[in-house]
A and B are shown apart, each in its own frame.
Chain A
């Protein structure tokens, strides 16, 4: 392995952006096919109405909102890594931050689809935004669903800004080494960047403040999403712990997704020197923390369900552990809080197959958690007369799978068109080339 210096960094990372082989196109095509099927399923829904989904009284929210919360959650770990770890001056974030931030942006693109998809008349989606309407009607600012609009929109805008701001110096490097129409596109994205001290100074200041703003933002976004549920008085939903519980769960699933994507990126682009074992191990350690927080929330929720003497709460809890949705529930408990404990063992958290496998299980578990929270509470509210079930149809499942294809499409494009590792940040972590001269003062 040649010693890392600045030009080596350029070469290694830009090599990943060369023209792809047939395998890339094969994966891309397969992805597009799946996406097309998902789009077809949604078109089917728009033509025939939401009745083609499995939702019915009383379970009026099911996989649509599960997917929404799931994808918003995935977005969180990227901001954690790029913003929060930046504020704490954690050095190892430099190599992985670009991929993590990309996961955030694309997860938000995916999540933002669902508030539109789940509408009965999606062509009226713009009613969600406040605008002066001829009848004088405004949106209900007291409702958590409207808070969602503001929170997710703000998060998407700020994340995209943060992502593209961080890209500007890298785009200068790519611009310099490309030609033709590609050169024009990268030159545009580089915004004329030259790397003067003045540009760097303002860039660093802006980056710091964007990170400082993004940190409370990211915590507020999933808190707001959790309040979609906690602000109701549905048993199992009306619980004050939801905000930190959801935020921890979001970071948990996001970290797992980042691991799932880093491992193939590292392999395919031969970036082992940049996306090291240490990175993956540190992510695994963070997963231990978030897994413990999620486990804590499970324990406290159970305790309070018992302590509260609230009969509907308690019967909802027993429905979860023994009712029709018991399997997703136990998958959730096992995959989210118990399986990640394996990362306490060093051989497991340093083994790539184990890392990937556990990350997959965590993602499945977290999707199940959202599903369990939403569906079991709606299925089993106060009045036994109105209890019911949700049974997914092929349309539900197709749209869910389609959303993964959509996310993955963006990621595939990103992997080839943009540097997957931040060139500038990696260079910053290297010692600068010194001749060893004494500088007189």
Chain B
């Protein structure tokens, strides 16, 4: 099923109007909803019922990779050119654990950031036309993906919920 590429965007002054609009549009059967807001709010997430973010998986993988990298680097390098330093064993695990720990955190952090960018589809070269700069200041926005013939119904629902500035045909 092809996701509609175009839709309608409504702008709301109040958070509860936005939530009301989301509920009503969901009741009316519209599934392609995207909210835009200057701040995150748990009420928006609860109303939209989208699945939790998979970024945690990236973090876990990053940490594991980092640990493996740490052990490989330290043990490998020590065995490659074995030098007894300070009377410590060639493969001395306690100090190597410090390196492992640091690389675990480093890789974990880098992959977390990567996971966020990937999932959030950032960076974007162009900010989409659905975006109204006021959505980063003090207005909330709701984009509904729908066909042209549904525009009127959507607009009506949005206005009932209290939207101002409704724009059609944006993706």
- Residues of A bordering B, CB below 8 Å: 5-7, 10, 130, 136-144, 146-147, 150-151, 153-154, 157-158, 161-162, 165, 168-169, 172-173, 176-177, 191-206, 209-210, 213-214, 216-217, 220, 224, 424, 427-428, 432-437, 439-441
Contacts and interface: CB of A to CB of B under 8 A. Distances in A.
Contacts of B86: 142
B102 A150 contact: yes
Contacts of B34: 196-198
A217 B105 contact: yes
Contact of A206 (B36, B50, B85, B113): B113
Contacts of A202: 53, 55, 115-116, 119-120
B149 interface: no
Nearest to B133: A176
B37 interface: yes
B29 interface: no
Given A196-B36, A216-B105, 16 more contacts: A10-B137, A136-B81, A137-B81, A142-B88, A154-B109, A158-B109, A172-B136, A196-B35, A197-B34, A197-B36, A201-B52, A203-B40, A209-B108, A210-B113, A437-B16, A439-B23
B67 to A, nearest CB: 13
Contact of B162 (A141, A213, A435, A440): A435
B131 A194 contact: yes
Given A161-B113, A434-B16, A209 B59 contact: yes
Interface of B: 13-17, 19-20, 23, 34-41, 44-45, 48, 50, 52-53, 55-56, 59, 73-74, 77-78, 80-81, 83, 85-86, 88, 92, 95-96, 98-99, 101-103, 105-106, 108-110, 112-113, 115-117, 119-128, 130-131, 133, 135-138, 143, 162
3 nearest A-B pairs in the assembled complex, by CB-CB distance: A192-B124, A206-B116, A6-B138
A158 B62 CA distance: 13
A244 to B, nearest CB: 16
A153 B102 CA distance: 9
B122 A199 contact: yes
Contact of B120 (A6, A203, A435): A203
B50 to A, nearest CB: 7
A197 B116 contact: no
21 contacts: A7-B137, A141-B99, A142-B92, A143-B95, A144-B95, A147-B99, A151-B102, A176-B136, A191-B117, A192-B126, A192-B127, A194-B135, A195-B131, A197-B48, A199-B120, A200-B37, A201-B50, A213-B108, A217-B105, A432-B39, A439-B19
B17 A195 contact: no
Given A150-B102, A199-B120, A437-B16, A6 B113 contact: no
Given A147-B98, A198-B34, A154 B19 contact: no
Contacts, number: 213
A403 B162 CA distance: 56
A407 B77 CA distance: 36
Contacts of B128: 194
Contacts of B88: 142
Contacts of B14: 432-435, 437
A79 B14 CA distance: 34
Contacts of A214: 109
Nearest to B74: A141
A206 to B, nearest CB: 4
